[in-house]
Amino acid sequence: MYYLIIWDKGLAATGQDGSLSKLEIPTDLAKFFFHLDAGKFPILSGLSFDDYDLFSDAQLESLIHELLGVASINLSAADYINSIVKVIFEAKSLGKSILFDPFRNE
């Protein structure tokens, strides 16, 4: 499973689960992100199934920009990518981070 999670660093720092909400990203879409051109999509192409990736503050704007770029070239995934962007906007409004988690099994 591969998840996009709204992450609360404060909760995680106290030993609690920092997950406030999550969205499962289909494996095929995640793999598509990993194989994107690193020059055009440095954040998305840097994701993997091997490690967590945490983004906050100004990084969220860059992530949104890349996702919208991908939606314009992969129309079949555009609706799902828009769902991802919506979650990131929610994290921004809450002042929280975004975590890509390849290890969660829920």
Rounded to whole angstroms, the Cα distance separating 88 from 58 reads 12
pLDDT of amino acid 95: 96
Position 105 scores a pLDDT of 80
Q: What is the pLDDT of residue 104?
A: 87
pLDDT in tens, the chain (106 residues): 899 999 999 999 999 999 999 999 999 999 999 999 999 999 999 999 999 999 999 999 999 999 999 999 999 999 999 999 999 999 999 999 999 999 988 7
Query: How far apart are the C-alpha atoms of 66 and 33, rounded to whole Å?
Result: 10
Beta bridge partners of 53: 100
User: Which of 53, 62, 47, 50 minimizes the C-alpha distance to 92?
Assistant: 62
